Amino acid sequence: MAVLHNRVSQKELKERMLRETEPRTTISFYRYFSITDTKVFRDELYVALEGLGVFGRIYVAAEGINAQISVPASRFEALAAYLRGVQGMEDLRLNVAVEDGGKSFWVLKIKIRDKIVADGIEDASFDMSKKGKYVNAEEFNRLTEDPGTIVVDMRNHYEFEVGHFEKAIEIPSDTFREQLPMSADMLKDQKESNIIMYCTGGIRCEKASAYLLHQGFKNVFHLEGGIIHYANVVKEKGLDNKFRGKNFVFDDRMGERISGEVIAHCHQCGKPADTHRNCRNEGCHLLFIQCEECAKEFEGCCSPECRETIHLPVEEQRELRKGVEKTAGNFNKARKRLRPRLGEK
């Protein structure tokens, strides 16, 4: 019987990955479709992907699949053929990373969830099949040139802060379940307008487009393949790039540059910067933006207090961490929640 989980330490797995000589390709994909038996689906998927040498993080739910993975370059076509051969995943779009060293993952994890995107929707009449119209990169550019078109960013604050499309509206929250009703409320007087929603790879804006239609909006679109696919198409076809800054990604890279501008600022000194870091203090692990100068001064920490902590004996650090909620490493942090930690006014 195949082993459906990892039995090697994370440290050893990462070292093995770093010793690999064959390049890897980082990919993301999702598909909303009905999965009757999520456990059977998960187990079959694990066996197939492990056999192809895939690493990454995949969520499976009755409503579909959401994945961020890497695969040895020589097995990319085999992976694509397998995935597109799964019932419900025909013609699956695979978003290849814009900036890719192939070293983002070192273990394969496939988890069963209630939903592939936590949305807070409890209305039984909500139907994901009634979603907005796809727009490709060319159509997106053309529609956004109309001053009457509304562009809505369905990502979190820390993602929007480092990069977004021109004239995009931010929904000021760091949970998707909060953003859905907020977006409908913010746009309640624009139900007849052209509204284009976008996100990193398409999974959130696709559901958001269905939600707005469910709320009575008429002309709702969503960007096909999200920012990742848009950036690749713009590069391939030489189109005008309407994205400014960096695209935040949920792996060790924490971002891929889409344009040359740096539109964010260091949370400590205020200089232009768009590099996200997690505080080196394991009892904090706060996600924040830090320039190279402050990274040196604070040794990768978010505050003088955390800088002092990392130099304490290991046992003393462990004592300090006891009883601390392990939420600081989460990505759901708006800048307003960073200010008290970073000494801002």
**Quick one: 94 and 147 in the same domain?**
no
Q: What is the DSSP string of 78-114?
A: HHHHHHHTSTT-TT---EE-SS--S-S-SSEEEEE-S
Q: Is residue 204 part of a domain?
A: yes
Q: Do 141 and 128 touch, CB atoms closer than 8 A?
A: no
Backbone angles phi, psi at 233, to 5 degrees: -65, -45
CA atoms within 13 A of residue 146's CA, in its CB half-sphere? 12
Nearest to 286 by CA among 325, 312, 260: 325
**Quick one: 90 and 139 in the same domain?**
no
* 124 membership: H or E segment, kind and range: none
pLDDT of residue 141: 96
**Quick one: 220 and 296 in the same domain?**
no
Per-residue pLDDT of the chain (345 residues; tens, 9 = 90+): 455 556 666 666 666 666 666 888 999 999 999 999 999 999 999 999 999 999 999 999 999 999 999 999 999 999 999 999 999 999 999 988 876 666 778 789 999 999 998 888 988 899 888 999 999 999 999 999 999 999 999 999 989 999 999 999 999 887 899 999 999 999 999 999 999 999 998 899 999 999 999 999 999 999 999 998 999 999 999 999 999 999 987 766 777 888 889 999 999 999 999 999 999 998 888 999 999 999 999 999 999 999 999 998 888 888 777 765 544 344 334 344 444 444 443
* 170 membership: H or E segment, kind and range: strand 168-170
pLDDT of residue 217: 96
**Quick one: 225 and 311 in the same domain?**
no
pLDDT of residue 283: 87
Given 237, 263, 284, the domain boundary residue is 237
Q: Do 14 and 106 touch, CB atoms closer than 8 A?
A: yes
Catalytic annotation, pick one of 199, 205, 266, 294: 199
Range of the domain at 141: 133-237
**Quick one: 14 and 83 in the same domain?**
yes
CATH of the domain at 58: 3.30.70.100
Q: Is residue 264 part of a domain?
A: no
Q: Is residue 108 part of a domain?
A: yes
Kindly report the pTM of this predicted structure: 0.78
**Quick one: 224 and 316 in the same domain?**
no
**Quick one: 105 and 36 in the same domain?**
yes
Q: Is residue 125 part of a domain?
A: no
pLDDT of residue 5: 57
CA 214, CA 224: separation in Å to the nearest integer?
A: 20
pLDDT of residue 147: 93
**Number of domains forming the structure of the chain:** 3
Q: Is residue 17 part of a domain?
A: yes
Q: Is residue 32 part of a domain?
A: yes
Q: Is residue 120 part of a domain?
A: no
Helix axes 137-144, 226-237, angle to 10 degrees: 100
Mark whether 199 is an active-site residue: yes
pLDDT of residue 269: 93
All residues at 6 or more sequence positions from 274 whose CB lies less than 8 Å from its CB, including other chains: 162, 163, 245, 246, 255, 262, 263, 264, 289
